[in-house]
């Protein structure tokens, strides 16, 4: 339809050009039968006409011949009728022809104006059709171009692309990624040293910040962590047990910590770690993903203040022991727990980070690791690692007596049926013994004191076999 409209418009435009002399004149011949040079202005008009119509002029004339005949039909008929008339009739015919010429001139002017108006409308419609074609055929093109921005308009193109385009993950799911996490800071003396270790090894970590420890003195080290590519997360404002406070106080503890981080580091945390790992029963009330851990280094148990009598050799032996245990247990997708407020942790970090890198691991933030492995973090969800659960990885245990062994929590939930969403009947302390009756889908049906229910078989360590 647009092509028909444009053809009609071209016809009107060409007729107007002919009416006002905007066509190429045939060169006259001189006495020596040599062609005179073409008028430059007429040549320019011809070129302009050909560019407007998109084809040579002689082809355009063929297409428009019929239309031109219609325009001049009335004039030819009038001439035949007036031929051989008397002088007065002839004069009236001349006046009539002059009047018709004026009318045609007026029609040509109106046609010229209308042709430009319709041409703009047709081009606008074509641009919209072109936009739809780009979006449907090649989604990889920048959205700014699809919206009609010119490629030369770099500012608008970049702005549109930044608002729409999604950035790819920084790391690949094929890489061996680990997330180091540090709680309870910041403490300028030790946190700054840990940051330097990470920087020297081209690594990053996630720092779970206690809000009331942020002030003008500690803000510099917090900003340093952000500058080094580390992630700042929420560890409440006053390090309170979220299971033992009211709903309003819990919400205030989380909000105040987020506000403090935003004030001093200009970032807003998106992850939460409950102090002491105590979150059970309040998962749906915190409004943020809850990040637990896979491996607890127990640096808090081995801090210098709690082991004043040990020698330097004993201290180093303990560091080596922890590094060895981590290297033996760690897998890609694990979250390692430490605390950036102890001198012991500084030295542990110095020993552990290079060893992990030697084994081919990359140390990244929690959010980066989960994004790379395609695990979506949801508010109220509890995450101990970034490895997707699979049927092949589900443990199976035989009937017998087992010991509860869980490093990421002080207790293990005993539930009324299989599944993490089922009702919690009791909490079994770490180190307690249970009797396993059967196992299904990675869950063990156990008895504990007067309770009977299901627990995750991941956290059961064989104690002794039941005599048959």
Question: pLDDT, tens digit, for every residue of 311-360?
Answer: 999 999 999 999 999 998 899 999 999 999 999 999 999 999 999 999 99
Q: Which residue has the higher pLDDT, 148 or 56?
A: 56
**CB 134 within 8 Å of CB 141:** yes
Please check the confidence at residue 417 and state whether its pLDDT lies above 50.
yes
Q: Is the pLDDT assigned to residue 161 strictly greater than 50?
A: no
- Output the pLDDT for position 84: 47
Among candidate residues 300, 383, 296, the one with its CA nearest the CA of residue 339: 300
Question: How many C-alpha atoms does 440 have within 13 Å on its Cβ side?
Answer: 9
Minimum mean pLDDT among 156-165, 396-405, 447-456: which range?
156-165
Q: Rounded CA gap, 318 and 321, in Å? A: 5
The pLDDT of residue 258 is above 60: yes
pLDDT digit string, tens, across residues 85-94: 455 555 565 5
Radius of gyration from C-alpha coordinates of the chain: 42
For the cut 70, the answer to whether the pLDDT of residue 42 exceeds it is: no
Task: Please report which confidence band the pLDDT of residue 26 belongs to, taking 50, 70 and 90 as the band edges.
Answer: very low
pLDDT digits (tens, 9 = 90+) for 346-382: 999 999 999 999 999 999 999 999 999 999 999 999 9
* Per-residue CA distances from 162 to 155, 158, 165, 166, 206 (Å): 11, 6, 6, 8, 26
Does residue 467 carry a pLDDT above 50?
no
For the chain, give the mean pLDDT.
77
Say which CATH architecture domain 391-464 belongs to. Roll (2.30)
Q: What is the largest CA-CA distance in the chain?
A: 140
CA 38 to chain centre: 62
Which range, 22-36, 56-70, 127-141, is most confident? Answer: 56-70
Q: Model confidence at 30, in pLDDT bands (50, 70, 90)? A: very low
Span 435-440, mean pLDDT?
A: 90
Q: Which of 224, 294, 288, 228 is nearest to 258 (CA)?
A: 288
The pLDDT value given to residue 201: 97
Cα 205 to Cα 403: distance, rounded to the nearest angstrom = 33
Q: Extract the tokens encoding 52.
A: 């407007």
Assess whether pLDDT exceeds 90 at residue 265: yes
**pLDDT greater at residue 7 or residue 195:** 195
What pLDDT, on a 0 to 100 scale, did the predictor assign at position 14?
57
Collapse the DSSP code of 234 into the 3-class scheme (helix H, G, I; strand E, B; otherwise coil) and give the result.
strand
Between residues 114 and 206, the one the model is more confident about: 206
Dihedrals phi, psi of 369, to nearest 5 degrees? -70, -45
Other beta carbons within 10 angstroms of residue 229's beta carbon come to 16
pLDDT at 58 over 60: no
Q: Would you say 398 and 438 are in contact if contact means Cβ atoms under 8 Å apart?
A: no
95 vs 368, more confident: 368
Categorize the per-residue pLDDT at 253 as very low, low, confident or very high, splitting at 50, 70 and 90. very high
* Whole-number pLDDT of residue 146: 33
Instruction: Please provide residue 177's backbone torsions phi and psi, each rounded to the nearest 5 degrees.
Output: -110, 145
Indicate if 391-464 has the same CATH topology as 177-383: no
Dihedral over alpha carbons 130, 135, 141, 146 (to 10 degrees):
50
Structural fold of domain 177-383: TIM Barrel (3.20.20)
Percent of residues, the chain, with pLDDT higher than 70: 61
| pLDDT reported for residue 418 | 79
pLDDT of residue 459: 86
The token pair that represents 225 in the structure block: 């962590």
Structure confidence at residue 133 (pLDDT): 34
For residue 157, what pLDDT is reported?
40
Residue of 197 and 154 predicted with greater confidence: 197
pLDDT of residue 3: 59
Name the residue with tokens 């942790």. 345
pLDDT beyond 50 at 299 = yes
Distance CA 460, CA 434 (A): 9
Q: What is the pLDDT of residue 286?
A: 96
Tell me which of 303 and 5 has the higher pLDDT: 303
The CA-to-CA distance between both ends of the chain, in Å, stands at 88
Q: Please give the residue that has the higher pLDDT: either 79 or 302.
A: 302
Predicted confidence band at 142 (pLDDT cuts at 50, 70, 90)? Answer: very low
* Domain ranges across the chain: 2-26+35-137, 177-383, 391-464
pLDDT per residue over 444-465, tens digit each?
999 999 999 999 888 898 875 4
DSSP 289-325: -EE--SEE--TTTS-GGG-TT--HHHHHHHHHHHHHH
DSSP states of 417-452 as a string?
SSSTTSPEEEEEETT-EEEEEEEETTEEEEEETTEE
- Joined together, the tokens standing for residue 336 give 């390692």
Burial class from Cβ neighbours inside 10 Å (0-12, 13-18, 19+) for residue 457 reads buried
Question: In Å, how far from its chain's centre is CA 170?
Answer: 11
Q: Which of 26-30, 58-62, 387-391 has the highest mean pLDDT?
A: 387-391
């Amino acid at each position: 339809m647009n092509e028909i409209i444009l053809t009609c418009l071209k016809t009107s435009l060409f007729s107007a050009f002919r009416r006002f002399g905007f066509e190429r004149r045939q060169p006259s011949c001189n006495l020596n039968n040599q062609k005179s040079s073409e008028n430059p202005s007429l040549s320019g008009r011809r070129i302009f006409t050909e560019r407007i119509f998109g084809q040579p002029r002689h082809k355009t004339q063929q297409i428009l011949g019929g239309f031109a005949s219609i325009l001049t039909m009335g004039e030819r008929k009038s001439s035949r009728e007036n031929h051989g008339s008397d002088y007065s009739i002839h004069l009236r015919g001349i006046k009539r022809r002059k009047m018709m010429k004026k009318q045609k001139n007026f029609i040509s002017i109106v046609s010229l104006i209308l042709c430009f108006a319709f041409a703009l409308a047709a081009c606008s419609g074509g641009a919209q059709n072109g936009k739809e074609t780009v979006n449907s055929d090649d989604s990889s093109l920048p959205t700014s171009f699809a919206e009609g921005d010119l490629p030369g308009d770099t500012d608008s193109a970049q702005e549109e692309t930044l608002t729409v385009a999604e950035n790819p993950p920084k790391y690949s799911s094929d890489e061996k990624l680990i997330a180091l996490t540090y709680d309870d800071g910041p403490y300028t003396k030790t946190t700054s040293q840990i940051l330097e270790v990470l920087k020297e090894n081209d690594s990053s970590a996630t720092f779970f910040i206690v809000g009331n420890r942020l002030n003008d003195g500690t803000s510099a080290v917090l900003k340093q962590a952000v500058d080094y590519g580390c992630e700042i997360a929420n560890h409440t404002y006053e390090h309170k047990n979220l299971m033992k406070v009211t709903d309003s106080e819990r919400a205030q503890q989380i909000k105040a910590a987020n506000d403090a981080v935003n004030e001093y580091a200009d970032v807003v945390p998106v992850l939460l770690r409950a102090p002491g790992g105590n979150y059970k029963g309040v998962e749906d009330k915190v409004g943020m993903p809850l990040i637990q851990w896979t491996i607890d280094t127990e640096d808090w148990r081995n801090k210098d203040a709690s082991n004043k009598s040990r020698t330097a050799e004993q201290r180093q032996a303990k560091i080596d022991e922890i590094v060895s245990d981590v290297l033996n247990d760690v897998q890609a997708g694990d979250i390692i727990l430490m605390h950036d407020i102890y001198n012991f942790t500084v030295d542990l970090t110095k020993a552990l980070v290079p060893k992990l890198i030697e084994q081919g691991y990359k140390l990244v933030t929690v959010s980066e690791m989960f994004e790379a492995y395609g695990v979506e973090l949801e508010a109220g969800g509890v995450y101990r690692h970034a490895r997707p659960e699979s049927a092949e990885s589900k443990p199976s245990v035989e009937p017998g007596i087992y010991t509860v062994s869980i490093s990421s929590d002080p207790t293990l939930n005993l539930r009324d049926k299989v599944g993490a969403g089922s009702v919690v009947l009791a909490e079994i302390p770490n180190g307690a013994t249970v009797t396993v009756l059967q196992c299904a889908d990675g869950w063990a049906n156990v008895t504990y004191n007067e309770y009977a229910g299901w627990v995750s078989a991941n956290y059961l360590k064989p104690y002794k076999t039941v005599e048959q």
